[in-house]
């Protein structure tokens, strides 16, 4: 029997609604790619320009919805953990079938894609000739299938939840002995993970400082941000989490979100996600700094994004460091 509860209903409806809303947006994107002509004052062009307001409002709304859906998805997985044998937290529930992790991954991907789009839109709206319009709607055409895929995969995830299946939870999934990507990450020795974690941090902070100092290097900063995001997640699973739980084998990226650990996970994830999204924005600003009508705006936007991103990254790494420092756990192989 498929599991029916309000949260699942809500997630399914939301995915369906956003997917449907993106259908006209995709059609509109195609029209823009074919018909956009900034020099014309024809009613068709005026109509297209008016519609861009609807589309950007729609994407902003979808972004907000996707953000809340991401939280709800995790909360719901957490709450469902009582219904599956072997599941003790969200990890176990995501493992119930093969669609759980892909859904989460798609949600995160859509979050970043939408964040990038909104920042691109913001930049484009500063240029008097809307120079990035085609690029923007091309990107939207690429995002739409992601949203549709997410709706499909998520539905499959919920439909194929079989309470009879014994699932494996964070204990076994993120254990060094297991197999698969999660185990690979967890199997990473804490020492290497710590090196990657703080290495990624130093790289991105260094690139950011250089960008702020020299006024160049926005693209390396964006790449550094992506790198920092990936290494930070790996670091949380195989290294920071251990210190938070004060348990040498408890690798779980979700349990830190629980009240039992003071909701400290939000303090880590929110700045990390925000800073990475802003780093992407800084990258796109740097990429378009030579567009004639955007020269001033790109510099300004880039600077703003990088400053905010730097605040996020500094926060994230400082908190990570503090969590390790205040922990009673000592992992001997890490420090000597």
Q: Which residues of the shown chain bind another protein in the complex (CB under 8 A)?
A: 3-11, 13-14, 17, 21, 38-39, 41-44, 46, 49-50, 53-54, 57-58, 61, 65, 68-69, 71-72, 75-76, 78-79, 82-85, 125, 128-130, 163
DSSP three-state, residue 167: coil
Compare residues 41 and 260 and give the one whose CB is closer to another protein. Answer: 41
Least distance to another protein from the beta carbon of 125, Å? Answer: 6
Least distance to another protein from the beta carbon of 163, Å? Answer: 7
Could you tell me if 178 and 172 are in contact, meaning their C-beta atoms sit under 8 angstroms apart?
A: yes
Q: Please, where are the H alpha helices in the chain?
A: 6-35, 43-80, 90-94, 100-124, 133-159, 170-173, 181-187, 190-214, 218-235, 241-245, 264-287, 295-326, 332-335
**Distance of alpha carbon 102 from alpha carbon 304, whole angstroms:** 33
Closest to 313 (Cα-Cα) out of 321, 303, 325: 321
Least distance to another protein from the beta carbon of 71, Å? Answer: 6
Compare residues 191 and 258 and give the one whose CB is closer to another protein. Answer: 258
Q: Which residues have C-beta within 8 Å of that of residue 170, sequence separation ≥ 6?
A: 88, 89, 91, 92, 250, 251, 252, 254, 255
Compare residues 61 and 322 and give the one whose CB is closer to another protein. Answer: 61
Least distance to another protein from the beta carbon of 321, Å? Answer: 27
Compare residues 169 and 207 and give the one whose CB is closer to another protein. Answer: 169
Length of the chain: 336
Could you tell me if 28 and 51 are in contact, meaning their C-beta atoms sit under 8 angstroms apart?
A: yes
Could you tell me if 215 and 205 are in contact, meaning their C-beta atoms sit under 8 angstroms apart?
A: no
Compare residues 21 and 334 and give the one whose CB is closer to another protein. Answer: 21
**Distance of alpha carbon 332 from alpha carbon 53, whole angstroms:** 57
Compare residues 144 and 207 and give the one whose CB is closer to another protein. Answer: 144
Least distance to another protein from the beta carbon of 332, Å? Answer: 26
Compare residues 67 and 321 and give the one whose CB is closer to another protein. Answer: 67
Compare residues 52 and 203 and give the one whose CB is closer to another protein. Answer: 52
Least distance to another protein from the beta carbon of 265, Å? Answer: 12
Least distance to another protein from the beta carbon of 226, Å? Answer: 27
Q: Which residues have C-beta within 8 Å of that of residue 207, sequence separation ≥ 6?
A: 217, 220, 221, 224
Least distance to another protein from the beta carbon of 224, Å? Answer: 25
Other CB atoms within a 10 A radius of the CB of residue 148 amount to 17
């Amino acid at each position: 029997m498929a599991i029916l509860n309000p949260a699942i209903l809500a997630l399914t409806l939301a995915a369906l609604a956003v997917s449907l809303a993106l259908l006209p947006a995709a059609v509109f994107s195609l029209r823009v790619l074919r018909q956009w002509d900034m020099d014309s004052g024809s009613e068709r062009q005026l109509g297209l320009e008016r519609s861009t307001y609807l589309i950007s409002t729609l994407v902003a709304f979808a972004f907000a919805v996707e953000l809340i859906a991401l939280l709800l998805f995790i909360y719901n997985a957490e709450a469902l953990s009582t219904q599956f044998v072997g599941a003790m937290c969200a990890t176990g529930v995501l493992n119930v079938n093969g669609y759980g992790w892909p859904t989460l991954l798609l949600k995160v991907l859509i979050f970043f894609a939408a964040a990038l789009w909104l920042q691109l839109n913001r930049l484009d709206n500063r240029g008097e000739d809307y120079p990035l319009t085609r690029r923007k709607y091309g990107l939207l055409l690429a995002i739409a299938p992601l949203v549709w895929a997410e709706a499909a995969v998520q539905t499959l995830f919920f439909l194929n939840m079989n309470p009879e299946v014994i699932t494996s939870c964070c204990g076994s999934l993120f254990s060094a002995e297991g197999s698969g990507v999660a185990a690979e990450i967890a199997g990473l020795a804490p020492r290497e993970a710590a090196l990657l974690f703080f290495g990624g941090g130093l790289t991105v902070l260094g690139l950011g400082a250089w960008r702020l100092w020299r006024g160049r290097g926005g693209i390396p900063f964006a790449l550094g941000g992506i790198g920092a995001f990936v290494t930070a997640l790996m670091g949380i699973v195989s290294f920071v989490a251990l210190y938070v739980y004060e348990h040498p084998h408890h690798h779980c990226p979700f349990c830190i979100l629980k009240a039992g650990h003071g909701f400290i996970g939000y303090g880590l994830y929110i700045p990390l996600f925000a800073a990475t999204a802003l780093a992407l924005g800084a990258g796109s600003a740097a990429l378009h700094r030579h567009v004639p009508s955007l020269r001033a705006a790109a510099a300004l936007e880039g600077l703003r994004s990088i400053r905010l991103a730097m605040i996020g990254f500094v926060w994230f790494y400082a908190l990570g460091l503090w969590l390790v420092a205040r922990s009673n756990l000592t992992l001997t192989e890490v420090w000597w």
